[in-house]
A and B are shown apart, each in its own frame.
Chain A
Amino acid sequence: QVQLVQSGAEVKKPGSSVKVSCKASGGTFSSYAISWVRQAPGQGLEWMGRIIPILGIANYAQKFQGRVTITADKSTSTAYMELSSLRSEDTAVYYCARAAGTTGAFDIWGQGTMVTVSS
């Protein structure tokens, strides 16, 4: 069974960047899309973008265009999400999630990475 294991919590200054990793183990990585979803404290879920590792193609939510970069390393079965120009409103838990087949449902989630943006 595939598991997604994310990197640890981060504390960043406003204006800096953060890069979060998501490593897949126990199954196929490249042929599934990996999305990134964030959740601000006490708020709902927000889709940021996704990548299909086997194609190397990423697409992003309009809100994050120009500020987020999602990449994948097939050799290590790891996806990355880098968010730049951080502001306090980016304080959130960031999740990676695998999309199941063609349905678009996210069937496997990472444990989440807390990113705190504070001066």
Chain B
Amino acid sequence: QSVLTQPPSVSGAPGQRVTISCTGSSSNIGAGYDVHWYQQLPGTAPKLLIYGNSNRPSGVPDRFSGSKSGTSASLAITGLQAEDEADYYCQSYDSSLSASYVFGTGTKVTVL
């Protein structure tokens, strides 16, 4: 029942650029709430990758960047590396669901 929609999978060769979209609505992203992105490697807890739409926590490579426009947000990975193969989730806040946080449907990134 995720209210944020992501493509199920994206892929790219090492060194390429890939983007992941996160589509919401007027009650979440479109209402101005921040979007955050997480990377989840197999069998591990999610890790914060981007916060506040476009900010990287300390230690996150600048190959990762985020943007937001209207009711959507995007995560870009440039210079794709083998260790980037993981699941990625966007997250925001939704004012229509008893004041709750919401996650995207998740995207599997495959490095060819």
Contacts and interface: CB of A to CB of B under 8 A. Distances in A.
Given A62-B97, A62-B98, A106-B91, A46 B103 contact: yes
Interface in B43-74: 45-48, 51-52, 57
Nearest to A4: B45
Contact of B45 (A100, A104, A105, A111): A111
A107 B98 contact: no
**Residue of A50, A62, A97, A106 contacting most chain B CB atoms (<10 Å):** A106
A95 B93 contact: no
Contacts of B2: 44
Contacts of B89: 44-45
**Residue of B98, B101, B106 contacting most chain A CB atoms (<10 Å):** B101
Nearest to A110: B45
**Residue of A37, A65, A110 contacting most chain B CB atoms (<10 Å):** A37
Given A35-B101, A61-B97, A106-B36, A44 B48 contact: no
Contacts of B24: none
**Residue of B46, B89, B99, B105 contacting most chain A CB atoms (<10 Å):** B46
A26 to B, nearest CB: 16
A49 B100 CA distance: 8
A60 B99 CA distance: 8
B106 A44 contact: yes
B45 A112 contact: yes
12 contacts: A35-B101, A44-B2, A50-B101, A62-B100, A65-B98, A100-B51, A103-B51, A104-B36, A104-B92, A106-B36, A106-B48, A110-B45
Interface of B: 1-2, 33-34, 36, 38, 45-48, 51-52, 57, 89, 91-93, 97-106
